[in-house]
Structure 1
Amino acid sequence: MKHRIDARFALAARENRAALVTFVTAGDPDHETSLEIVRALPGAGADVIELGMPFTDPMADGPAIQAAGLRALAAGETLVKTLDLVRAFRERDQDTPIVLMGYYNPIYVHGVERFLYEAKEAGADGMIVVDLPPEEDEELCLPALQSGLAFIRLATPTTDDKRLPAVLKNTAGFVYYVSVAGTTGAATPDFNVVGGAVDRLKRHTDLPVAVGFGVKTPEHAAAIAAYADGVVVGSAIVDAVAKSLDADGRATNKTVSAVTALVSALAAGVRRGRAAA
């Protein structure tokens, strides 16, 4: 079965470029503005949208994304509303892949079977659930694959060749390589090491490899795009949202444009990277 994710990475490959994968938190700074942002991302150059499902204890996320989740929760965002956001996005865009990213607890509380049905029905294409290791694949990964949703796994600098087959076994869509040890946005990756890491992963899988964590600028994106099939940017985009808000943390008339301006610059950087490689 072909997914929108497969089609989008194939398109990027035909155009001899990496795909730009953008992360935003659903409901940040409020549900309506968040929907505007998500709807604007493809036009700004985003190939794939990772949509964060806000959670009170996001252990893999750095301060920027933690703050975004708290803003979203304070504004009333819920898992149901996040799925509604996907549904509303699909009313206007049937092509851009959406990957739901978050933690298992809210899915478990919602009910796995119910969540998978509603996510697929809403128009999601896959998910990244960072706190479920391969040993727990029967909990969510295998049911997700059976539902037609890609389950995207993270590989890290500490994932050695012995561990890698287990990580990749049921992965679909793409492999997300975490280029730095630590939380999101915490450090800048060593670009000299990324190429070798991507090559190592490609010896074990035919899936596209997207690289993220610490990618903040168009120059960073260009450096990653020289090696990877995809470049993932999250904290920098979430920061752009935060810096556009008023003193009370509410959206302004600059919020959406702050995000689209950054994403457009990142998309240009991604294209430069492959051309320069």
Structure 2
Amino acid sequence: MTTRIERRFADLKAKGRPALVTFIMAGDPNGDTTLAVLKGLPAAGADLIELGMPFSDPMADGPAIQRAGLRALEAGETLARTLDTVRAFRESDAQTPIILMGYFNPVYIYGVERFVADAKAAGVDGLIVVDLPPEMDSELCLPAIEGGLNFVRLATPTTDEKRLPAVLKNTSGFVYYVSVNGITGAAAPDTTAVAAAVERIKAKTALPVCVGFGVRTAEQARAIGRHADGVVVGSALVAAMEGAAERGTDAVVEAVCGLVRELAEGLADLKLAAA
């Protein structure tokens, strides 16, 4: 049985267009605003949505996403509330894939078996857990796959030919290529280097390859989208949420969805290199 993620990429491949993958932090600046933004993202042009699971020690995240996680935790966000948000989103959207992204600690505390079952029941489609290497697949990756969730793995500029097979072994849904070394939002990606990396990864897997970290503008998204199956934008959207938060939920929704519309327009008439 195919997942929403797999069906969405198949549909986009048929159209010959790269995916726009958007990231926001659950509970930032509060649960109601997160849900309002989530509901607005698909109409604005988001093809898949990554929803951050806030954690107190986000070692791979840049300042914008770190602040978002802290705001969410201070507002009382928990993993259970994040799943409730997904459940509420599913009441009006049965098609848009949702991927939870974060760190293993909150999942471990929640209980892996319980988490996988509850996430699936809530309408989650996949997981990205940045601090679980392939050597720890038995901890969450394999239980997630058995439970019907895709497990998306990160590849980086330092993932060499020897390491790549291990990274790809149990990955499903898509491969997330981190375009720059370091933390999220720290630098703009080098398009030439990204193109070469995507080509190298696609030679080893039939999975779609999405590129993220550092993509902020429609122009950057378009440049990356010429080579990748999808473009991931996170820090720019989180910064837009932060900038509009004091003006209330409606302002946050418009700020984030306005940027997503610009990004989507940049990809709208772009054809996949492989299409």
Q: What is the TM-score normalised by the length of structure 1?
A: 0.97
* Rounded Cα–Cα distance in structure 1 between residues aligned with 2:189 and 2:154: 16
Aligned position for 1:75? 75
Cα deviations across residues 145-180 of structure 1 (Å, max 9, x unaligned)?
000000000000000010000000000000000000
- Mapping of 1:117-136 within 5 angstroms? 117-136=117-136
* Rounded Cα–Cα distance in structure 2 between residues aligned with 1:254 and 1:5: 29
* Rounded Cα–Cα distance in structure 1 between residues aligned with 2:219 and 2:35: 28
Would you say how many aligned residue pairs link Structure 1 and Structure 2? 274
Asked if structure 1 preserves the Cα contact closer than 8 Å seen for 2:99 and 2:128, the reply is yes
* Rounded Cα–Cα distance in structure 2 between residues aligned with 1:160 and 1:58: 25
Asked if structure 2 preserves the Cα contact closer than 8 Å seen for 1:245 and 1:251, the reply is yes
* Rounded Cα–Cα distance in structure 2 between residues aligned with 1:196 and 1:274: 18
Aligned position for 2:21? 21
Task: Look up the SS of the partner of 1:101 in the other structure.
Answer: strand
Task: Look up the SS of the partner of 1:185 in the other structure.
Answer: coil
* Rounded Cα–Cα distance in structure 2 between residues aligned with 1:193 and 1:168: 20
Task: Look up the SS of the partner of 1:254 in the other structure.
Answer: helix
Gaps of 5+ in 2: none
AA partner of residue 15 (structure 1): K
Structure 1 position 268 matched with structure 2 position 253? no
Structure 1 position 114 matched with structure 2 position 114? yes
Cα deviations across residues 69-99 of structure 1 (Å, max 9, x unaligned)?
0111111111000000000000000000000
Aligned position for 1:158? 158
AA partner of residue 157 (structure 1): P
Asked if structure 1 preserves the Cα contact closer than 8 Å seen for 2:215 and 2:221, the reply is yes
Aligned position for 1:138? 138
AA partner of residue 263 (structure 1): V
AA partner of residue 121 (structure 2): E
Gaps of 5+ in 1: none
* Rounded Cα–Cα distance in structure 1 between residues aligned with 2:25 and 2:271: 28
Aligned position for 2:4? 4
Asked if structure 2 preserves the Cα contact closer than 8 Å seen for 1:29 and 1:251, the reply is no
- Mapping of 1:112-261 within 5 angstroms? 112-246=112-246, 251-261=248-258
Asked if structure 2 preserves the Cα contact closer than 8 Å seen for 1:198 and 1:228, the reply is yes
AA partner of residue 161 (structure 2): D
Task: Look up the SS of the partner of 2:250 in the other structure.
Answer: coil
Cα deviations across residues 12-44 of structure 1 (Å, max 9, x unaligned)?
111111000000000111000110000110000
* Rounded Cα–Cα distance in structure 1 between residues aligned with 2:63 and 2:33: 21
AA partner of residue 256 (structure 1): V
What is the root-mean-square deviation of aligned Cα atoms in Å?
1.3
Q: State, as a whole percentage, how many aligned pairs show the same letter.
A: 64
Task: Look up the SS of the partner of 1:253 in the other structure.
Answer: helix
